[in-house]
Structure 1
Amino acid sequence: MKKFTTIFFLALLSAASAFGQGAAGIDAGASELQTYIDPVGNLILIVGAIVGLIGGVRVYIKWNSGDQDTQKAVMGWMGSCVFLMVVGVVIKAFFGV
């Protein structure tokens, strides 16, 4: 019985110390995550700009060749660019950077 009580108290103390480290670990993880948010948001904005340039060139080529589907291409490329730009801004706003 004495052995069981000793093991129980040791397990209880180790669990309490794990919870104490857990809060500090969560705080450290949150602060480290915030250091990555700004570069990721900027990367998404850069990818959106590159997609916009490529889309503009493709729509221009379609327009010059007389394709009837130009408006559909413009809406598709513009929608993807706007989506990428909004995602970059929302990520920064969501994490408060």
Structure 2
Amino acid sequence: MKAYALVSAAKKTKSKIAPHEGKQRMLLTLTGSLLALIAKAQDGAAGIEEANSQVRSYFEPGTNLMYAIGAVLGLVGAVKVFQKWNAGDNDTGKVAAAWFGSCIFLVVVATVLQSFFGL
């Protein structure tokens, strides 16, 4: 019963904002947001250059990672092909071509990206 009375009392004492005060608050909020946006956007060229240098700094380690993944896949593929060859499976050539192709693809993609970006 007491909780209902508190909610009822809160509804009755709820302060109402005058229509012009709400518009003033909204205008003030929009103005503040716009000023903050303008302050952040003044140095856009420097931000783009910083992003460019950061992406370029990650590119060489990423290329080396692709080469390492290609090497691991090549070793796993060689073991898998060797096992199929020893077992006498008929599709050994197909599996060997698939693994070899995937390793070549990784190396070619890393090399093409490196030459494309001119690093």
Normalising by the residue count of structure 1, what TM-score does the alignment of the two structures yield? Answer: 0.79
Runs of 4+ residues deviating >4 angstroms: 13-19
By how many angstroms is 1:14 displaced?
6.9
1:31 aligns with 2:53: yes
C-alpha distance in 2 between matches for 1:85 and 1:39: 14
Q: Indicate which of 53, 57, 77 corresponds to 1:55.
A: 77
Give the alignment of 1:6-25 within 5 angstroms. Answer: 18-25=40-47
Tell me which residue corresponds to 2:109.
Answer: 87
C-alpha distance in 1 between matches for 2:36 and 2:46: 16
C-alpha distance in 2 between matches for 1:18 and 1:93: 35
By how many angstroms is 1:15 displaced?
6.6
C-alpha distance in 2 between matches for 1:14 and 1:66: 71
Q: Percent of aligned pairs with the same residue?
A: 44
Normalising by the residue count of structure 2, what TM-score does the alignment of the two structures yield? Answer: 0.65
Tell me which residue corresponds to 1:44.
Answer: 66
Higher relative contact order (CA 8 A, sep 6+): 1
The size of the alignment, in residue pairs, is: 91
Does the 8 Å contact 1:59/1:74 carry over to 2? Answer: yes
